[in-house]
Amino acid sequence: MNWEDFLSFIALQESSSLLNPILRNAHIINESDTSITVSCDNLGIKIYIDNKRKEIEEYIELFLKSKKSLVTLVEAKGKKKAKAIEREDLPILSYPSSLQYVLEKAYLQERFTFENFAVSNSNQIAHAAAMAVAESPSVQYNPLFFYGGVGVGKTHLMHAIGIHILKKFPEKKILYCTSEEFTNDLIDLIRKKDTLQFRKKYRSIDILIIDDAQFIAGKTYIQEEFYHTFNTIVKNGGQVVLSSDRHPNEIKELEDRLRSRFAGGLMIDIQNPDFELRTAILLIKAKERNISLDIDAAKRLAERQTDARALEGTLLQLYSKSLVLNSNAKITTDMIDSEADKQQHNFIQNSNPNDIIKTVCLFYNIKSADLKGPSRKSELAYARQVTMYIMRTVLKTKLDEIAFFLKRRDHTTILHGVDKIAGLMMRDERVHKEIDTIVHSL
């Protein structure tokens, strides 16, 4: 219901001279099939409206031609924004030593900052955009949408944005969460019949940071709630930052209105870190943990370990080995080679073709029965060929075994599929990224 139109309608009725002007100090915040919720600037207005509830509900019925109950709550809405706190001002209510408390409240992790974010060609635009938003939230790119594969630094950048904003604007209300947490929160409060509490929590935020936004796809009510939350925050001058593992256009079952909202800001692709960036990340992580790692060892490790997320884990494994093997706890290139070979061997031992089939089906959103079936539809055939390629190159499975798993007639089909994907990977960067993403998620 358009509130302004409703107020104009009331003005034409024989209502009290006070009603319409007072209703202008209320704002509709939610509407369902059976009720309309309005927020009032203060308790006096709420009480006045509550006393006139019956009259207002009659007007609503006349206006909408359907009965809806009126719910009121008090929500202070500054008609003018509080003066921006100058850089020098330190609020008394959260002075420097409580930064940790403030970060905890916002669910931000102090270890993810701009200072320890390694920048390279694959992520420098994302880094620049993140810095711009952190310096001046809600001014430049709203929303800011990062997408990319696993371990490329999306979460790091999002935390860094939040921390930077909190340091610069301590009075801002910031919340970081994953879309799964958003969903769980909503479900929990629906169960407790307290959706107003949910809306109060999320819609009064100045900066909302949502990680893994792709998981709201396919969930109608969650998407609707998120849509309204998004609109309210942006309308109130807030900033939204999101991330996903793929471009919004590639997120299936995502509502068009959300897709269009995301497209209204800036969408940035973060590529997998290249060799130089992986080396830089290793050196940063080694320094943070006081691990002795020279540049040659860092380069070797960056060569052997292409998964950015696994870099730190591998580094720590090597470090603990080095503590046992040599007294100065130095990580050598031999240790790196030996560990990498061992990991490869373990991976092949522990993985099986069914894992690959499952992962590919999940990625392309197809059924495993269709993947193994006789259908030659292009999307199924393509997914099938990707499966063949991964089984062959990663698990080193024999061609006839692959044919058996995928219910193909003979090994030549498999060979053709593997070669086709190998060729596509060389020509098309997008295919290369897709395969990498699937392999990493194994």
Segment interacting with another protein (CB under 8 A) among 16-24, 133-141, 252-260, 379-387: 16-24
Binding of another protein by 22 (CB under 8 A): yes
Among 104, 171, 288, 428, binds another protein (CB under 8 A): 171
Binding of another protein by 193 (CB under 8 A): no
| CA–CA distances in Å: residue 225 to residues 51, 99, 177, 379 | 30, 31, 15, 33
Binding of another protein by 324 (CB under 8 A): no
Q: Give the angle 253-256-261 at the CA atoms, nearest 5°.
A: 120
Are 118 and 277 contacting, i.e. CB atoms less than 8 angstroms apart?
yes
What spatial distance separates the first Cα and last Cα of the chain, rounded to whole Å?
A: 48
Among 12, 76, 84, 324, binds another protein (CB under 8 A): 76
Q: Classify the phi-psi angles of 407: left when phi > 0, otherwise alpha if psi is within -120 to 50, otherwise beta.
A: left
Nearer to another protein, 99 or 310 (CB): 99
Among 54, 65, 83, 191, binds another protein (CB under 8 A): 83
For residues 99 and 168, give the distance between their C-alpha atoms in angstroms, rounded to a whole number.
11
Three-class SS state of 83: coil
Beta strands 35-40 and 26-31 are antiparallel
Are 131 and 114 contacting, i.e. CB atoms less than 8 angstroms apart?
yes
CA 396, 399, 400, 406 torsion: positive or negative? positive
Based on the number of CB atoms within 10 Å of its own CB, is 418 exposed (0-12), middle (13-18) or buried (19 or more)?
Answer: buried
Minimal distance in Å, beta carbon 168 to another protein? 11
Nearer to another protein, 12 or 324 (CB): 12
Interacting residues of 249 by C-beta distance below 8 A, sequence separation 6+: 259
Segment interacting with another protein (CB under 8 A) among 82-90, 104-112, 353-361, 385-393: 82-90
For residues 424 and 420, give the distance between their C-alpha atoms in angstroms, rounded to a whole number.
6
Nearer to another protein, 106 or 298 (CB): 106
Nearer to another protein, 80 or 235 (CB): 80
Based on the number of CB atoms within 10 Å of its own CB, is 313 exposed (0-12), middle (13-18) or buried (19 or more)?
Answer: exposed
Nearer to another protein, 50 or 429 (CB): 50
Nearest CA among 178, 174, 209 for reference residue 103 = 174
- List binders of another protein among 93-132 (CB under 8 A): 93, 95-96
Minimal distance in Å, beta carbon 16 to another protein? 4
Count of residues near another protein by CB under 8 A: 32
Contact flags string 277-306 toward another protein, x per CB under 8 A: ------------------------------
As given in the structure block, the two tokens for residue 10 are 């009331």
Minimal distance in Å, beta carbon 19 to another protein? 7
Nearer to another protein, 25 or 305 (CB): 25
Nearer to another protein, 96 or 374 (CB): 96
Among 12, 82, 84, 324, binds another protein (CB under 8 A): 82
Contact flags string 35-54 toward another protein, x per CB under 8 A: -------xxxx-xx------
Binding of another protein by 184 (CB under 8 A): no
Binding residues (CB under 8 A) for another protein: these are: 16-19, 21-22, 25, 42-45, 47-48, 74, 76, 78-83, 86-93, 95-96, 171
